[in-house]
């Protein structure tokens, strides 16, 4: 065992080792908020379809900070800190809605949909008494505005002082992967959240871990929805921040699982109602599954015809909220809509192939709690972070840590 005396010193082995203090050090949590979530990263805020008309809003998050995302009367999208210039109270207390301005409930200071302070109650006092001096400039303390970019119906925001343009941050493969799924105007199907008893990073590692998918999620494997012997691949972008794991829908699998007598290759399990797995090749490329994740906290999911965006919201060192929004497209016919709703059984907190993720991250949190100086091992697929054909690889997880260390200057 290597003993690390300074808690913020990364192990000498590099990206193949992750120290467990990374999930349990309270000082790191605050530093991550500043350097990652409020730093030079692009954070997914919401679907453009969640702002369906002028003068609509949606609250979202930049890490554990609340932000308001709006579409103004001209249709332009803005995002700003959900914090009143006066005393710091939340400006907007609702998840979504329609309005032409925001008024803080505490002292009725008002803001336009771009986050500009437009009114201070009793600024000149009443009857010549009270109020603020004419020299006062409360506007200087107005909520910070995010830089916003919309890519194929996905709204991203950043508070960074020097972020690259969104498409440069993502790289061409990731942009292609986004455009592949976001092929038409979105129709919302609904959403829910999962409260996870783990640090936010454990969930993002989970989504970037193509190695676990068919081993933890036995439903997947048993029904040949995704076996690592299926044709597919792993794409990791240059800075490690984005990845795509994909597999073809058709099963050309061998018998590696059966030979190794894996728990996940049980025989004798067939569905009485196999229509659950009925799907259509709506993208016309035979890809049955594409998981695309972007640092720090965004996932775009295509599992057959089940499409969703997920974002992770840190809620303290050992608590995160995973926000799911499922969607189809405005042009979907009844049949496709029905398939999407039925396949929703595969995903989310009760998902046949995803419920385990909610628990697995907590198992790591609990299992590693007493071992801050021990290291986890990430050596599947070598030591690098490059794209490869095999999904028996932790290249995308190493990519996550590459991006993490860069932003944390660690």
Partner 1 sequence: MNIEQKLAVEDLNARYAEAIDDDRLEAWPDFFSADGRYLVTTAENVAQGLPLGIMSATSRAMLRDRIKALRQANVYEAQRYRHVLGTPRIEAANGTLRARTSFMVARIMHTGETILFATGCYEDRVVLDEGGAHFAEKTVILDSRVIDTLLAIPL
* Residues lying near partner 1 in the complex (CB under 8 A): 95, 188-197, 216, 218-219, 222, 266, 269, 271-273, 276, 321, 326, 341-342, 344-345, 348-350, 352, 355-356, 358-359, 362
**Measured from the CB of residue 160, what is the shortest distance to partner 1 in angstroms?**
29
* Residue listed under structure tokens 């609250």: 59
**What is the torsion angle, in degrees rounded to the nearest 10, for the CA atoms of residue 139, residue 140, residue 144 and residue 150?**
70
CA distance 234 to 208: 10
Pick 107 or 366: Cβ nearer partner 1: 366
Pick 290 or 306: Cβ nearer partner 1: 306
DSSP-derived secondary structure letter, 26: H
- Residue 293: name the closest of 316, 322, 270 by CA: 322
**Measured from the CB of residue 58, what is the shortest distance to partner 1 in angstroms?**
12
CA distance 112 to 116: 5
Pick 40 or 56: Cβ nearer partner 1: 56
The answer to whether 379 and 209 have CB atoms below 8 angstroms apart is: no
Both tokens assigned to 356: 């385990």
* Residue listed under structure tokens 């840190």: 314
**Measured from the CB of residue 396, what is the shortest distance to partner 1 in angstroms?**
22
**Measured from the CB of residue 326, what is the shortest distance to partner 1 in angstroms?**
5
Backbone phi, then psi, for 71, in 5-degree steps?
-120, 120
**Measured from the CB of residue 40, what is the shortest distance to partner 1 in angstroms?**
30
Pick 21 or 23: Cβ nearer partner 1: 23
CA distance 370 to 378: 20
Contacts of 342 by beta carbon, 8 Å cutoff, 6+ apart: 275, 276, 278
CA distance 45 to 157: 7
Pick 18 or 196: Cβ nearer partner 1: 196
Pick 94 or 136: Cβ nearer partner 1: 94
**Measured from the CB of residue 408, what is the shortest distance to partner 1 in angstroms?**
28
């Amino acid at each position: 065992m290597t003993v690390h005396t300074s808690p913020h010193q990364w192990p000498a082995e590099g990206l193949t080792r992750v120290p467990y203090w990374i999930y349990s050090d309270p000082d790191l949590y605050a530093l991550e908020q500043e350097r990652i979530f409020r730093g030079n990263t692009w954070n997914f805020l919401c679907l453009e379809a969640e702002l369906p008309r002028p003068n609509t809003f949606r609250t979202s998050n930049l890490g554990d900070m609340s932000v308001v995302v709006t579409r103004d009367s001209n249709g332009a999208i803005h995002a700003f800190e959900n914090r009143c210039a006066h005393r710091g109270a939340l400006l907007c207390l609702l998840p979504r809605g329609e309005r032409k301005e925001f008024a803080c409930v505490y002292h009725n200071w008002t803001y336009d949909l771009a986050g500009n302070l437009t009114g201070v109650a009793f600024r000149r006092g009443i009857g010549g008494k009270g109020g603020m001096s004419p020299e006062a400039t409360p506007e200087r303390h107005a909520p910070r505005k995010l830089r916003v970019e919309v890519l194929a119906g996905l709204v991203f925001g950043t508070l960074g002082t020097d972020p690259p343009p969104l498409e440069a941050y993502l790289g061409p493969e990731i942009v292609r992967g986004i455009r592949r799924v976001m092929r038409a105007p979105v129709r919302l199907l609904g959403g829910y959240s999962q409260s996870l008893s783990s640090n936010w990073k454990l969930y993002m590692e989970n989504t970037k871990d193509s190695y676990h998918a068919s081993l933890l999620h036995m439903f997947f494997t048993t029904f040949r929805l995704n076996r690592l012997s299926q044709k597919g691949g792993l794409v990791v972008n240059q800075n490690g921040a984005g990845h795509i794991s994909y597999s073809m829908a058709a099963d050309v699998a061998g018998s590696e699982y059966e030979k190794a007598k894996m728990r996940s290759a049980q025989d004798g399990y067939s569905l009485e109602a196999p229509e659950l797995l009925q799907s259509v090749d709506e993208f016309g490329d035979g890809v049955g599954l594409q998981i695309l994740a972007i640092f720090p906290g965004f996932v775009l999911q295509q599992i057959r015809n089940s499409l969703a965006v997920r974002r992770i919201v840190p809620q303290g060192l050992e608590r995160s909220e995973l926000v799911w929004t499922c969607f189809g497209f405005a042009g979907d016919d009844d049949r496709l809509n029905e398939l999407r709703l039925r396949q929703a059984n595969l995903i989310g907190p009760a998902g046949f192939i995803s419920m385990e993720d909610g628990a697995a991250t907590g198992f790591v949190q609990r299992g590693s709690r007493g071992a801050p100086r021990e290291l986890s091992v990430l050596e599947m697929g070598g030591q690098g972070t490059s794209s490869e054909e095999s999904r028996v690889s932790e290249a995308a997880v190493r990519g996550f840590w590459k991006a993490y260390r860069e932003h944390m200057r660690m």
